Amino acid sequence: MSKEGRIYRRKKAFASVAYRVAVLVVLYALSLFGFATLGLAQTPAPPAFPQTVAPQNPLSTVPVPGELELAKLIWGTIAAVDNANQSGNYSVLRDLSATGFQINNNPARLAEIFATLRASNIDLSNALLVAPSYTAPPQLVQPDVLYLRGYFGIRPTSVEFELYYQWMAGKWRLYGVSIVPLQVAGVAPPQQARPAPAPAAAPEKKRNR
């Protein structure tokens, strides 16, 4: 066999070995990728509860209200509670609430719950004249339950609130409510105006004799 023939056979044998090695490397890489993918698929997802669901959670389909909508939601609840306290009829407040709220609270129970607030004789309608302030950012504590906490800084009595709303039939409905009036510290009682002092009498002029 010529020298050129021997070199050709060696090159062919080397190429065959290199091809087999390359195939084995590819198969090994695919097996590793397959196992990694399988392991990832078997990893359990983290539990949704009791962790708080953030408002920007892309998995939630519930629309989080904007600033104006939040204020209107709170004003509506304050107005409904104030009307119930003024009339003594809590049926309308109950009818506007979520199903769970209605099941747990009949009108008589609501009258009992708001007895202290009603006895304080606070005019909650004053809260409708100002925007609410928040002591915690509005958040979804469950995928369909919105939690709001804050106050109305009116004087001489501010109004603190904690409100829960549940998303039902395309609307936010009252799910839980706490309204507490608080006397604003440092507010002095109004003082009556003092009468202005009388002007001093002018001295009499001496007459020349």
Task: Output the domain CATH number for residue 152.
Answer: 3.10.450.630
User: For residue 1, what pLDDT band results from cuts at 50, 70 and 90?
Assistant: low
Distance CA 76, CA 171 (A): 13
- Range with the lowest mean pLDDT among 72-76, 107-111, 156-160, 194-198? 194-198
Give 38's Cβ-side CA count (13 Å radius): 6
29 shares its domain with 84: no
- Range with the lowest mean pLDDT among 33-37, 64-68, 146-150, 169-173? 33-37
pLDDT in tens, 29-39: 333 333 332 22
Within a domain: 194: no
Mean pLDDT of 173-198: 66
24 shares its domain with 71: no
21 shares its domain with 95: no
82 in helix, strand or coil? Answer: helix
Mean pLDDT of 111-124: 94
97 shares its domain with 18: no
74 shares its domain with 32: no
Nearest-10 Cα torsion for 52, 55, 58, 60: 70
127 shares its domain with 175: yes
96 shares its domain with 138: yes
93 shares its domain with 152: yes
Strand 145-152 and strand 171-183: the pairing is: unpaired
98 shares its domain with 151: yes
- At 53 the pLDDT is 38
Could you tell me the residue range of the domain that residue 15 belongs to?
Answer: 1-38
pTM of the model: 0.60
72 shares its domain with 168: yes
Number of domains in the chain: 2
Within a domain: 54: no
